[in-house]
Amino acid sequence: MKVACLALAIGLLVSGAARAAEPALVDHWSGPLVQRLLQSLGATDSRQTQLAGAPGLLERTSSGLSFGVYAKACAPAAAEPYCRGVEGLASFDPGRGADRAALVDRLNRRYAAGKFMLEADGSIRLTRYIDIDAGVTEANLRAQLGEFIALAEATKDAVWVTAGR
C-alpha cells in the first residue's frame, strides 16, 4: 500500500513538472511576436500597418516578394483590439493577356492551403487564415507563417510562369 501511494505521488509530481515545462500558448495577436517569428523565417523590411483598423505588418522575402500579415477576428478593446486570428495576404499581377479567372480557379485547385480571389483591379489575392483562439505554440505559429510564405512564393512562381515572365 505504501509503495502504491509513493508511486502515485511520484507520478503526480512528474506529471505536474511535465506540465510546467510545456510552452506558453499564443492565443491572440502580438505584433512583436509575429514580427520576430517572420524575421526568423527570413522576412525583412518589416513595417507596421493597419487593415480595416486591425494591426498588421508588411514584410519582404529575400526573393523580393512583398506580403502582409494582419490581425483578424478582433474584438475592440479600450487601448488596442484583441485579435484571435492571423491572416497572411499577398497580391500578384499576372500581366497582360493572362486569363485571370482561369488562373484563380487553377490556383484554388492546386493550393488548398490558401484562398485565391480575383480583385477588381485585376490582381490575384492570396489569403491564408491562421486560427489561434484556442492557443498554439510559438513553434506552431512559426510553422504556419512559414507555410504561408512558401505558398506565396510558389504562387508567385506559378503566376509568373503563366504570364510568360
95-131 pLDDT, tens per residue? Answer: 888 899 999 999 999 999 999 999 999 999 999 999 9
> Chain-centre distance of CA 53, in angstroms?
18
Residue 13 placed within a domain: no
Residue 6 placed within a domain: no
pLDDT at 96 (0 to 100): 85
Can you tell me which residue has the cell 504562387?
155
Asked if 146 contacts 69 with a C-beta cutoff of 8 angstroms, the reply is no
Read off the pLDDT of each residue in 86-101 and give the average, rounded to a whole number.
93
Domain ranges, residue 72: 25-162
**Residue 85 belongs to domain with CATH number:** 3.30.1460.70
Residue 7 placed within a domain: no
Q: DSSP assignment of 34-96, as one string?
A: HHHHHHHTT-EEEEEEEETTEEEEEEE-TT--EEEEEEEEEE--SSS-EEEEEEEEEEE---T
Residue 111 placed within a domain: yes
Residue 14 placed within a domain: no
Residue 35 placed within a domain: yes
Residue 102 placed within a domain: yes
d(CA 71, CA 122): 25
Residue 83, pLDDT > 70, answer yes
Q: How many domains does the chain contain in total?
A: 1
pLDDT at 6 (0 to 100): 47
Residue 97 placed within a domain: yes
Read off the pLDDT of each residue in 143-148 and give the average, rounded to a whole number.
97
pLDDT at 81 (0 to 100): 73
